[in-house]
């Protein structure tokens, strides 16, 4: 989010654009067979994401994963197919008619959602240091459990006891994820000690609010921006529990603009797994990658955070709160933290969760 300063001495039309003004703040996988269908390689990512609600309804209880499969290198302009897994071959024609490519799974049926619910309950009061994250892989229809390399494996094995082994897959990761507010100065939004990244512009119906990460706003009231460290607002609100979102009230001297790095925010349609989104962080700048998993539970310093989305983007300290957005202006969520190799597995809280938890509406243009 960037600042526009048209006149001095009064700041009557400064633009606070969410996203660029940054704060420094195993088990084997069974086979799946694509059913015969019409050639559907020409869907762009936006069109594929628009199909998701319809194919979800059509597949019903036989749904076994939805993901985008690019026909070439992935990216905001890639085209490909929306793959829809189903346990019922009879549904293939209906899914094809909607524009999707059905994938009939011929292995024994399993329920990764049940494994996800059980593991979420078992880790609700704390997560062992060896357990980095877990979430369902749409493509394999397995609960993927990320275990830190070199850490004792017995705590994770104990947590997985009794779960259907065909529904679970363990993967090794080099390190645990980290929250990414940072301590120090910077020409970004700050509370005087933490740097984070401004997310999206929102409103409560009468006043403007700036959405960012909850671990940034907790314990902080007044926030500043710009080279002159001018006050954005005081009385920041933070979500309760483990939901990592917060919002800063914006004073009348600022004008919230519904843009992210020049892209107008037009809505909040959720991007399908496999499609591209871009993070705009105060430290990393623009970093784009494909959505990997949704409804992921992550271990941040022993605290469980659930309902996050995992993305193949790189992030650094100070990117917390930064916005994720698609190339066609669909807001996705705000950055919480990152892990994996070189911090290139990132996690965000979906914008729908942020808005409902904070009681706000997204500003769109």
Task: Judge whether residue 40 has pLDDT over 80.
Answer: no
Tell me which of 253 and 124 has the higher pLDDT.
124
User: pLDDT tens-digit profile of 152-178?
Assistant: 888 999 999 999 999 999 999 998 888
Ordered DSSP codes for 97-143: HTT-EEEEE-SPP--HHHHHHHHHHHTTT---TTEEEEEEETTTTEE
Task: Judge whether residue 123 has pLDDT over 60.
Answer: yes
Place of tokens 């709160």: 321
Please report whether residue 339 resides in a domain: no
Last residue of a domain, one of 218, 233, 260: 260
**Angle at alpha carbon of residue 61, lines to 55 and 67, rounded to 5°:** 40
Please report whether residue 196 resides in a domain: yes
What was the pLDDT predicted at 41? 66
Task: Judge whether residue 364 has pLDDT over 70.
Answer: yes
What was the pLDDT predicted at 182? 41
Residues 55 and 120 occupy one common structural domain: no
Q: Which CATH number goes with the domain that contains 72?
A: 3.30.300
Coil, strand or helix at 184: coil
Residues 21 and 51 occupy one common structural domain: no
User: pLDDT tens-digit profile of 291-340?
Assistant: 999 999 999 888 899 999 999 999 999 999 999 999 999 999 999 999 88
Q: How far is CA 334 from CA 70, 122, 177, 214, in A?
A: 25, 26, 16, 10
Task: Judge whether residue 347 has pLDDT over 70.
Answer: yes
How does residue 76 score in pLDDT terms, banded at 50, 70 and 90? Answer: low
- For residue 86, the enclosing domain spans 32-105
Please report whether residue 240 resides in a domain: yes
* DSSP H or E stretch at residue 155: helix 154-159
**Mean local confidence (pLDDT), 116-121:** 95
Q: How far apart, in whole angstroms, are the C-alpha atoms of residue 336 and residue 116?
A: 21
Task: Judge whether residue 79 has pLDDT over 60.
Answer: yes
What was the pLDDT predicted at 11? 33
Residues 148 and 122 occupy one common structural domain: yes
Last residue of a domain, one of 105, 139, 155: 105
Tell me which of 15 and 227 has the higher pLDDT.
227
Residues 191 and 253 occupy one common structural domain: yes
How does residue 17 score in pLDDT terms, banded at 50, 70 and 90? Answer: very low
How does residue 185 score in pLDDT terms, banded at 50, 70 and 90? Answer: very low
What was the pLDDT predicted at 68? 96
342 torsion bin: left (phi>0), alpha (psi -120 to 50), beta (else)? left
b/e map of 112-125 (b: 16 or more CB within 10 Å)? beebbebbbebbee
What was the pLDDT predicted at 74? 62
What was the pLDDT predicted at 32? 55
pTM assigned to the model: 0.79
Structure tokens at 28: 């084997």
DSSP annotation of 265: P
What was the pLDDT predicted at 73? 66
Residues 166 and 203 occupy one common structural domain: no
* Nearest residue to 186 (alpha-carbon basis) of 223, 239, 142, 141: 223
Please report whether residue 3 resides in a domain: no
Percent of the chain with pLDDT over 70: 85
Say if residues 358 and 247 touch (Cβ distance below 8 Å).
yes
What was the pLDDT predicted at 199? 93
Q: Which CATH number goes with the domain that contains 153?
A: 3.30.300.50
Tell me the catalytic residues: 215, 244, 320
**Mean local confidence (pLDDT), 248-261:** 84
Mean pLDDT of the chain: 85
Residues 147 and 214 occupy one common structural domain: no
* Nearest residue to 323 (alpha-carbon basis) of 149, 189, 156: 189
DSSP annotation of 90: G
Please, what sign has the CA dihedral across residues 9, 12, 18, 23? positive
Please report whether residue 340 resides in a domain: no
Task: Judge whether residue 254 has pLDDT over 80.
Answer: no
Please report whether residue 203 resides in a domain: yes
Q: How many residues does the chain have?
A: 365
Residues 101 and 131 occupy one common structural domain: no
What was the pLDDT predicted at 16? 33
List of residues 6+ apart from 139 with CB closer than 8 A: 65, 67, 83, 85, 273
Residues 169 and 188 occupy one common structural domain: no
Last residue of a domain, one of 105, 132, 164: 105
What was the pLDDT predicted at 346? 96
User: pLDDT tens-digit profile of 91-110?
Assistant: 999 999 999 999 999 888 99
Domain count of the fold of the chain:
3
What was the pLDDT predicted at 21? 33
How does residue 36 score in pLDDT terms, banded at 50, 70 and 90? Answer: very low
Please report whether residue 246 resides in a domain: yes
Which of 4-13, 71-80, 89-98, 106-115 has the highest average model confidence (pLDDT)?
89-98
Please report whether residue 124 resides in a domain: yes
Tell me which of 351 and 23 has the higher pLDDT.
351
Q: Which CATH number goes with the domain that contains 207?
A: 2.40.10.10
Task: Judge whether residue 6 has pLDDT over 50.
Answer: no
Residues 219 and 194 occupy one common structural domain: yes
Q: How far apart, in whole angstroms, are the C-alpha atoms of residue 294 and residue 310?
A: 6
């Amino acid at each position: 989010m960037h600042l526009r300063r048209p006149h001095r001495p009064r700041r009557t039309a400064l633009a606070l654009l969410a996203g660029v003004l940054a704060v420094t703040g195993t088990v084997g996988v069974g086979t799946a067979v694509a059913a015969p269908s019409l050639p559907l390689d020409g869907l762009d990512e936006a069109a594929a994401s628009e199909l998701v609600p319809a194919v979800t309804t059509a597949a019903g209880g036989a749904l076994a994963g939805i993901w985008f499969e690019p026909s070439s290198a992935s990216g905001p302009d890639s085209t490909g197919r929306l793959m829809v897994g189903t346990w019922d071959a009879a549904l293939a024609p209906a899914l094809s008619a909607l524009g999707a490519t059905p994938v009939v799974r011929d292995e024994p049926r399993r329920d990764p959602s049940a494994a996800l619910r059980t593991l979420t309950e078992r880790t609700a009061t704390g997560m062992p240091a060896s357990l980095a994250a877990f979430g369902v892989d749409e493509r394999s229809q397995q609960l993927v459990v990320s275990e830190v390399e070199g850490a004792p494996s017995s705590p994770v094995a104990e947590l997985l006891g009794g779960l259907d082994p065909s529904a679970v897959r363990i993967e090794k990761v080099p390190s645990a994820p980290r929250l990414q507010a940072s301590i120090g100065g910077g020409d970004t939004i700050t509370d005087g000690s933490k740097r984070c990244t401004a997310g999206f512009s929102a409103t409560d119906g009468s006043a403007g609010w700036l959405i960012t990460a909850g671990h940034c706003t907790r314990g902080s009231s007044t926030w500043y921006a710009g080279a002159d460290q001018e006050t954005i607002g005081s009385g920041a609100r933070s979500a309760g529990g483990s939901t990592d979102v917060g919002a800063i009230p914006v004073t009348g001297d600022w004008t919230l603009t519904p843009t992210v790095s020049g892209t107008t925010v037009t809505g909040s349609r959720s991007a399908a797994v496999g499609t591209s989104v871009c993070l705009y962080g105060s430290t990393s700048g623009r970093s784009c990658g494909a959505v990997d998993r949704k409804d992921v539970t992550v271990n941040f310093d022993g605290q469980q955070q659930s309902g996050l989305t995992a993305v193949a983007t790189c992030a650094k300290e100070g990117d917390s709160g930064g916005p994720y957005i698609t190339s066609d202006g669909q807001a996705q969520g705000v950055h919480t933290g990152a892990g994996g190799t070189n911090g290139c597995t990132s996690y965000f809280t979906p914008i729908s969760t942020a808005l409902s938890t904070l009681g706000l509406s997204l500003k769109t243009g």
